[in-house]
Structure 1
Amino acid sequence: MKPTLVTTLCFLLFSFTTYFPLPFTHAGIIVKDIYGKPVVPSGSYFIWPDYLVSGGELRLGVTENSTCPFTVLQDYSNYGHGFPVKFTPQNQTSSDDPITLGLHLDIAFDYKPVCAESTKWLVVEAENEYPTPWLAIDGTGKNVYDDGWFELIAYERTGYLIYFCHKLSSTRGECRYISRKNDKNGMRLVFDDGDYLAAVFVNVDDIVRARGSSIVKKDRAFTLPMI
C-alpha cells in the first residue's frame, strides 16, 4: 500500500472517531441497573458510584449564601441511599421503552424541597460564587449555563458516565461528562474536566436487596477521600 494512501486512511479514521456525535456510537444499547434490568422512564433510581469510583450517593445540599438546598452533591461517605431520580427522554412518549445510551434525557430528583421550583437538573453558573458551571435544580436564580440535555454513556464493565450536551451541539467535542470537585458539604457535580462521576443505578424497589447484596458490598468498599 502506498504511504500516501495509508496517511489518508489514518486521517479519515481519526476524523470519524473524533467527530461522530455521541448517539451515533451507542445508539440502541439499553441502559441497565445493577441487576441487569433495563432502566425505564417510569422507574425511580438511586445513582450510586461505580465500584471503581470513590464517594457516596447523590443528594441536594446548601452552598454559598443560599438557604435552600439547590446544589447537586455527592456524599463523601456511602452510608445513605441518596435521593432517587427519574430519567425522562426528551423525544420519547412511552414510559415503558427502556433508556438507551446516547438518548437525550432530562434528569430530575423525586424529592423536591418546598423552596425549589422543580427538581429538574440544570447546569448553572455564577462566577462570583463558583469558578465553573455546576449542577443544580430549578429555582436558584442563577444563570442557566446553556439549554441542552443529558446522555448516559457506558463506562468500563458496569458503570455509566453522565454527559451534558449543549442544545446546539452535534459532536462529541461539545458534550462533556459531569465531574466532581470537593466542596464544604460534599462533592459538587460540575461541568468541567476533572474527576469524573462514574455511576450505577439502583431501582428504589431493590434498595433493601442492594444494601444487603454481597456484590454491592464488595463493589462499594470505598476509601473516604482526604479533604
Structure 2
Amino acid sequence: MKTALSTLLFFLLYAFTIKLSFTSAEPVLDVNGDLLLPSNQYYVLPLIWALGGGLRPGKIHDSTCPVGVVQDFSELSDGVPLGFSPVPDIGIVPANTPLSIAFAEAPRCAESGTWIVVKEDLREGLSLGIGGPRDHPNHEIVRGHFTIHRDGMGYRINFLPSTGGATSGHVGRIFDQFGKRRLVVTDKDPYLVVFKKASSGVSKI
C-alpha cells in the first residue's frame, strides 16, 4: 500500500513539474500583444504585410479536395482562422512546446482541418496538408508535432517528427508548378508569421 501511494505521489509530482515548465515558457502573443489562447481562433499572416494574405486549405498534388495549406495572394484576405492546441492544454499557447494546429473549418470533403505533414515529390521539402491518410492516398504521412518560436519581430512554426526517416524543419513557403503559394516543411528560409485574433463570426469554407 505504501509503495503504491509513493508511486502515485511520484507521478503527481512529475505531472506538476511538467505543467509548471510549460506555464513558465515564453507565451506566444498576437499582433495586439495579447496572449494566444487555445479557446480563440487566429489568422496566420505574413510578418511583412506586402507579402500576401492569410492561409487556407488549397488543392495539392492530384487531389480534387483542398487538402493542402496555401497562402492567399491578396494582402486584403486574412484567409481561414486556425486553432492552436498545446499538449498538455494549460490555458495559453506557449512557445517551444508541442502543438496541434487546425483550421477552424475544414472542407466537407476532408477528414478534418488538422495540419499534417505529407511526403510528396517536392524538391523543397515535405508538404503541409490537412486531414488524414485517406485525404492523401499514395502519400506517406509523417507523424509529429508543431512548435512556435519567436524569430525577430515575428514567429516561425517548426515541425518535429516522431517517426524515423524524416528530419525536423520549419514551415516555409514555395511556389509550385501551378503558381500557388504552398506551405512546406523545409530546412530553407522559414516563413515568418504573426497571429491576428479572429472574430467569433467567421465564415465557413
Q: TM-score, normalised by structure 1?
A: 0.69
Amino acid at match of 1:118: S
Query: Which residue does the alignment assign to 1:86?
Result: 83
Query: Which residue does the alignment assign to 2:155?
Result: 160
- 3-state secondary structure, aligned to 2:142: coil
* Map 1:18-167 → 2, pairs under 5 A: 28-51=25-48, 54-92=51-89, 94=90, 97-127=91-121, 130-131=122-123, 132-138=125-131, 139-157=135-153, 159-167=154-162
Q: Deviations over 1:13-69 (max 9, x none)?
A: xxxxxxxxxxx9xx6101010001100101000000112772321111112321100
Q: Please report how far the alpha carbon of residue 192 of structure 1 lies from its aligned counterpart in structure 2 after TM superposition.
A: 1.4
CA contact (8 A) 2:120 2:127 kept: no
Amino acid at match of 2:47: D
Runs of 4+ in 1 over 3 A off after TM superposition: 142-145
Long gaps (5+) in structure 2: 1-20
CA contact (8 A) 1:72 1:136 kept: yes
Separation (CA, whole Å) in 2 of partners of 1:195 and 1:75: 19
Separation (CA, whole Å) in 2 of partners of 1:53 and 1:107: 25
Number of aligned residues: 173
CA contact (8 A) 2:142 2:163 kept: no
**What is the aligned counterpart of 1:204 among 186, 198, 204?**
198
RMSD between aligned residues: 2.5
**What is the aligned counterpart of 1:186 among 180, 183, 191?**
180
Q: TM-score, normalised by structure 2?
A: 0.76
CA contact (8 A) 2:42 2:197 kept: yes
Amino acid at match of 1:188: R
Change (3 A) 1:60 1:166: same
Q: Please report how far the alpha carbon of residue 140 of structure 1 lies from its aligned counterpart in structure 2 after TM superposition.
A: 2.3
Amino acid at match of 2:95: L
Q: Deviations over 1:97-153 (max 9, x none)?
A: 2111111000000111111001110000133xx443110011223534421100000
Query: Which residue does the alignment assign to 1:18?
Result: none
Q: Deviations over 1:67-106 (max 9, x none)?
A: 10011011233121201000011222x5xx2111111000
Change (3 A) 1:142 1:121: farther
- 3-state secondary structure, aligned to 2:100: strand
Q: Please report how far the alpha carbon of residue 185 of structure 1 lies from its aligned counterpart in structure 2 after TM superposition.
A: 5.0
CA contact (8 A) 1:125 1:142 kept: no
Long gaps (5+) in structure 1: 1-23, 208-227
Query: Which residue does the alignment assign to 2:8?
Result: none
Q: Percent identity?
A: 31
